[in-house]
Each structure stands twice: as C-alpha cells, then as structure tokens.
Amino acid sequence: MHGTLLFWCPDRPGIVSAVSGHLFENGCTILHADQYSDPETGLFYQRISFDSGEGADRDGLAEGFSNLASEQELEWRLSWDDQPKRVALLVSRQDHCLWDLLLRHRWNELSCSIGCIISNHEEGRKAAEAFDVPFHLLPVSNENRSEQEAQIRNLLVEQRIELGVLARYMQVLTPEFIEHAPCPLINIHHSFLPAFSGARPYHQARKRGVKFVGATAHYVTSELDAGPIIAQDVISCSHLDSVEDLTCKGRDVERLVLARAVRWHLEDRILPGPGRVVVFE
C-alpha cells in the first residue's frame, strides 16, 4: 500500500537519514522524495511517497514515527492512498468551478470523496442532482449569518469533512467561523493576488488597463484574500476586452487554478510555512 509522509523542522544534518532509516526498518520502499531547505527561515521540508508492502502495520509505523518526530523535533503528517479525504464544496450563484470539480472527480482526476455541496443559493442544486451529491441550501443574510455559519460548521463536522472548497462561494466568512472551522478551507479568488483583492476585481482590472487577468487559489484565513497562496495563473487580455470579456476569460483560469490547488492538497503536496506554503508539484 502506498503512503505519503510530510514533515518539516529546523534544518540540520542527519534528518533525512533518520527518517529514511525508519521507513527502511519498517519494510517500506521509498518511491519518490522531494525536499527543500528554506535559507530565510532555516526550515527543512520533505515529502516522501513510499510503498509499505502488503499487511503493513500502519499503527506501528505511525507510532514509531511519532517517537522519532519527538526526538528530531519534527512536525509531520502521514496519509494513505486508500483513505481518500472527504471534501465539501461551497458555492453561490456562479457554478462553473463547481461543475468542473465534479467532472474532474468523476474522471478520477481528484482522489477524494465528495461528502456534500453547501450553497446559499439554489443554482448549485442542479449540479448536485446530476452527480448524486447531497445538497444543502443555507440562505444567508446579515441577520442570520451567525446561525447560518453554525449550520455550515455542523455539517462539516457531521460529514467528517477534511477539506472545504470555496468554489466561488461569494460570502465573506467571519473570523469566528474560520477560527473554529473543523478543516482547512481553500478559496478561489478571481484575481492574481495581491492585486485587486476584495470585490469586483475584473472591474478593477479593466479600469487599470491590465494586460493579464488571473486567478489565485489560497487557504482561507481571517484576513480577507490574504491566506497562503497555493496556485496562480494568468491569461492575456487587452484594451479591447470589456468587463464581460475579462470575466469570461477569467472563468477558464479560475477552473484550472482551483482544480490544481485542490489536487495538490488531496495528494499531500503542500507543507505549511511561516506566512506561505511550500508546494511540491
């Protein structure tokens, strides 16, 4: 069975030898390894894909690595290919990213289990029915925002969701919700951040006469559109493009960038750093 080990720690000699030696002693074969030493922070990051063989003692392997991590002062995460993460998709009226993620999941491009779709509008119901995914309509207003966010949080807990994807969910989540969210949240912003954060980025881009419009997938934090960036891309434009043209072009980039970020998270290719993330593509 294939597993993936992520770890990060202060950089020093002997770390790679200790970790690879532990895997070898437990009958594991390393299939692929990526590593990065950050000269600014002095942190070392590594991702190891390995084969544990049939009948491997997963609990024993994890317990042994936990002991090793304590000795070596490592932060770590271990996952297995046959235990796909459970995902919730959050969407508002614009559903192009929602359809794209559902199609990619059907085509086995995203290794996960989609537990539910949550929306504050009815538009996402058609996609949910087409792909046989439970749909939860939770309208929101200034008056019921706390109650609605509590309902979302309860759903994430009840469905054992391990990743929430804001697939053009056009509501600003409160800091309280983000602080107590039971799983990481990935958002797609229709701009090449940090340019044109907040609302109506294509209108801002048109006004500035930019030659590229882009999209940014990032983890959600309490600071609006300022979480660690996972993936970005751009598409060219010109003075001839209207806001509608930019929006149409932007949708293509949004779909690609969000799918890329979600796939990297599901494949455990992202490691946390101070204010940013390390991505092993």
Which positions are annotated as active-site residues? Answer: 225
Rounded (10°) angle between helices 58-72 and 15-25: 160
Going by C-alpha positions, the residue among 126, 3, 17, 5 that lies closest to residue 72 is 17
For the chain, the straight-line distance linking the first and the last C-alpha, in angstroms and rounded, comes to 22
Going by C-alpha positions, the residue among 267, 207, 278 that lies closest to residue 84 is 267
Burial label for 240, CB within 10 Å (0-12, 13-18, 19+), is exposed
Q: What would the two tokens of residue 256 be?
A: 């690609």
Instruction: Compute the distance between CA of residue 47 and CA of residue 36 in angstroms, rounded to an integer.
Output: 9
Contact call for residues 250 and 256 (beta carbons, < 8 A): no
Rounded (10°) angle between helices 96-106 and 243-266: 40
